[in-house]
Structure 1
């Protein structure tokens, strides 16, 4: 036993003190899991230790561009704390190397970095197989190629905006009932139902899905929550294949099966609505993601294994992130009536006084409300859905002037950099004006910039200046960057802008006394406690 212990001690010192990272500043963590294993800690209902750690590191000028955690095994986890460093990782690092053909022939990864090892392993186990969010290389590439077009604004906006506008109208009716009764609304639950409806409608192109299979529409989010608890289970990390057994997965196995059965039934309904036609290449747009996927010819397995896994991943990744963002956003607006007034002024110039006909809301009108966009962007700065982006280093990788060696893990510190006062002065202050471009720029871009991401390789401008005087140029890190940017970004943007504009146009918000808004990380950043808000009808 003593010899084994000595072996591990010597290996730790050898790995740490012969590494190119030996002179990189240490990221001092107090949490056991972060400090000794480089792992995201379990959720904490009393304190968001992970966010506090990431913010502290991101605000420390001595830890730029990177700092490092050393696990007890001598493996480094590198925190990237500058925007340039994050771009180096997510854009350059995930782009195929010039010698990618040689790498593939040698059965080596063709990119410098790829998705983090731990999250890929956990996703594969919890979701029951490969999907677009846990695959790499060509296995990921063909999925992205098929699923990307329906999420680009040219297809998504005309297909989805009418539904989102009408669903927002239902939301306003709910708020109206509470306004009449002078009762508060718990917003996180309400917004999760909204987002789940939006995602399912666009995935399958219809809203008459068989929700009885899952105990009703509002219960769908609860089943996803049970599935998500699989990521928190220590059994996921059991060795020797034990983590793949039904016993190890019993806490979430029933939820996964129920969700996959629901997805398969929903796909059957989507096929009846718009039968796939893989023989024709003339059809360029489809009414739903399902229609595009089944027409691609790539999802041909009769049991739909890959398609169901991809749709489960898409739903799981999106149903709560947008909802939590809306809950955080409304909690801030409820504390800032002056910001609400600015929204109302701009929205009424474009949409007019309430009630607004849902059919009158267009992408062009949404683009003429930059302050609404600024509000959701400030929310995502202060409460990013993704606090960090984990990646694994395949080959030695330059990160803002420092070489990170192969085999290391990287955390792109989204939470920390977005609270960095050198970029965002007074970072604790909720200030949407950070995102308002000078009028000259706004006028020049008004006809071409609709606020949606074209999701092409040129979407991120690597030469744009970002500092305290140019905060509005900071990219949407919560959606990640580069080829692996979030597929659902435009769906989220459409929902956020529509709901914020329509709601504040019609109602004033105030926070219920005693309501505290703090963060908690359970895969994504969510409110630690319920978000209770009062609504009061505005005069037209």
Structure 2
């Protein structure tokens, strides 16, 4: 028998396998290259300016660079600021991924409004999604990390009914009277912490201190009480660490593994256990919130907590799966962002004694000398201290908790005169536009006077947001002479504006005013203040500060 006749079938098989092994990847590469050039050359964005970056993740995939523990410079902030300050990149610029999908960075205020306000307005066509929606990747990973849909990753009707149910408790007329007494009480406990540090001459790391404060405020308003079962999460002090571990899911490489591998316990080992502990804590807190509401006599229209209001709607199923996810997502979204803002705020005050003194004189004139009775601090008084509001607004400008807002384009959308095609991904560049010298001269300078309106007028809501449904009305003109008209981009704009905005404002105002009324602060010797983006903008090295009691009145 001819040996070739025996081997020829095997030779044919191996030859075929060889060609398939070699040419299939090659065919795939050719397909990607052709699609890339076809999409780029035929796109209505083909002539748009290119984003000047050498970053691998942004250039080739249109993705946020993963956090680098060895990084010593905030490269992402540096990149966003450089793009936002480059007039050639306005109103937008583009990076083309290897798949031919454009990443569009929007660098003008009008463009950002077109995306967040007009782009996300509910379509008049039944069943048709809005022109723009939350970014696909962030929704996907958030759904994975939280184990289901929630207020911060849903779209369409799934988002709309949640927003309708959860919005009323965050309106100022409900939130302020229900939450202000607790915020003042908790602020006075914070003053005790500062007083002890002052007496002992020790510095405090403020980011951690303010995370504890913010966590208490959020939990109190979500559940209407402070006596929650913290043992379920290893103690009250451990609650913020549990949330931090949950956040590791957003940085997990295993979270992107295909074929269901990302849903295994192994793949979720970094964050899965924390998520389950936190959900047990939320589930138990819901029970306590119901008990608290039962003790409160009302006409059925007033509620002691966000949980009670949500349950009264009848929209949540008996298994409370969606409610647990919504409440957990609200806590996760707010516990560190407000704390980072306060930490950065006091880092700037600590470096500016003259500003501290100016702020002190205004606060003391309204609150009076300590001890200040908690019940004497009202929303009206807080609204009479415009410099307090200017200080936190300037902090949010220079250190935005959210560096950019991702969005996905469903249908061709006009963005500041440029049509952005469907299937594009967008980054609304908050970090860059808020450091644009054409809007904010000398942007590196911390200057609260930018936000002081002539006459220091306050609106009827005392500076809180009515969260009105009409998001498409014309906004005031923003110029270097009218910087105070610049919107609160850190809370986003339009239909998806931050639910907790008024709660944040209340905590910021109260904490800043009460602290400055009794203490001066200075940075610990050798402190370095820098930013680092890990989901949110945080102090890279923390904020270490010394507090000293005010010993005399200088009114």
Asked whether 1:294 is paired with 2:306, we answer no
Runs of 4 or more off by more than 6 Å in structure 1? none
**For residues 479 and 221 of structure 2, what CA distance do their matches in structure 1 show?**
37
- The CA deviation string for residues 498-532 of structure 1, in whole angstroms up to 9 with x for no partner, is 00001011100111111111111111110111210
Q: Which residue is equivalent to 1:147?
A: 166
Query: RMSD in angstroms over aligned alpha carbons?
Result: 1.5
SS at 1:469 equivalent: helix
Partners of 1:462 and 1:413 lie apart in 2 by 21
Cα distance in 1 for residues equivalent to 2:265 and 2:474:
47
Query: In 2, distance between residues paired with 1:36 and 1:23?
Result: 19
1:35 is the counterpart of 2:36: no
Query: In the alignment, what sits opposite 2:21?
Result: none
Q: Output aligned runs, 1:138-177, within 5 Å.
A: 138-177=157-196
**Mapped contact 1:168–1:498 kept (Cα < 8 A):** yes
Structure 2 CA distance for partners of 1:354 and 1:49, relative to 1, 3 Å:
same
**Residue 86 of structure 2 is aligned with which of 60, 63, 83?**
60
2: CA distance, partners of 1:481 / 1:47: 30
Query: 2:409 corresponds to which residue?
Result: 393
Q: Identify the residue that residue 365 of structure 1 maps to in structure 2.
A: 381
- Deviations along 1:210-256, whole A, 9 cap, x unmatched? 01111111110000000000000011222233222222212111000
Residues 99-129 of structure 1: CA deviation (Å, up to 9, x unaligned): x21xx1xxxx421000000000000000000
Residue 321 (structure 1) aligns with: 337
Q: Distance in 2 between matches of 1:149 and 1:276?
A: 21
1:126 paired residue number? 145
Contact 1:453 1:459 in 2 (8 A): no
Partner deviation per Cα, 1:415-440 (whole Å, 9 max, x = no partner): 0000000000000000000000011x
1:129, 1:309 within 8 Å by CA — same for their partners in 2? yes
* Structure 1, unaligned runs of 5 or more: none
Counterpart check, 1:425 vs 2:441 = yes
Inter-partner Cα distance in structure 2 for 1:15 and 1:242: 32
Q: Which residue number corresponds to residue 9 of structure 1?
A: 33
* Distance (whole Å) between structure 1 residues aligned to residue 276 and residue 400 of structure 2: 30
Q: Where does 1:417-456 land on structure 2 (aligned, <5 Å)? A: 417-439=433-455, 442-443=456-457, 446=458, 448-456=460-468
Shift of 1:449: 4.6
User: Cα distance 1:359–1:218, how it changes in 2: closer, same or farther (>3 A)?
Assistant: same
1:202 counterpart residue number:
221
Judge conservation of contact 1:150–1:285 (CA < 8 Å) in 2: no
Distance 2:77 2:47 in 1: 25
Q: Is the counterpart of residue 87 in structure 1 residue 94 in structure 2?
A: no
The equivalent of 2:524 in structure 1 is 512
TM-score, length-scaled by structure 2: 0.93
**Secondary structure of the corresponding residue to residue 195 of structure 2:** helix
Task: Supply the distance in 1 between the matched residues of 2:177 and 2:295 (Cα, whole angstroms).
Answer: 20
Question: Helix, strand or coil: the match of 1:274?
Answer: helix
1:122-167, Cα deviation, whole Å (9 max, x unpaired): 0000000000000000000000000000001000000000000010
Structure 1 match to 2:268: 249
Matching of residues 443-522 of structure 1 within 5 Å: 443=457, 446=458, 448-458=460-470, 462-522=474-534
SS in 2 for 1:269: helix
For residues 330-385 of structure 1, give each alpha carbon's deviation from its aligned partner in whole angstroms, at most 9, with x where no partner exists: 00000001111111111111111222111110000000000000000000000000
Contact 2:172/2:461 (<8 A) preserved: no
Count, aligned residues: 526
Q: Indicate if the aligned counterparts of 2:292 and 2:304 stay in contact, CA closer than 8 A.
A: no
Unaligned runs of 5+ in 2: 1-24
Please state whether the residue corresponding to 2:436 is helix, strand or coil: coil
Larger Rg, first or second structure (1 or 2) = 2
Rounded to whole Å, the distance in 2 between the matches of 1:2 and 1:42 is 29
1:306 aligned to 322, 326, 350, which one?
Answer: 322
CA distance in 2, matches of 1:263, 1:461: 38
Give how far 1:447 is off: 5.8
Match of 1:525 among 509, 514, 537: 537
Give the match's secondary structure for 2:122: coil
Distance in 2 between the 1:145 and 1:137 partners? 12
Contact 2:117 2:471 in 1 (8 A): no
Among 329, 350, 355, the alignment partner of 1:334 is: 350
Mapped partners of 2:366, 2:473: distance in 1: 30
* Distance in 2, Cα, partners of 1:275 & 1:53: 53
CA distance in 2 between partners of 1:213 and 1:255 (Å): 11
Q: From 402, 406, 409, give the equivalent of 2:418.
A: 402
Structure 2 distance, partners of 1:276, 1:139, is 32
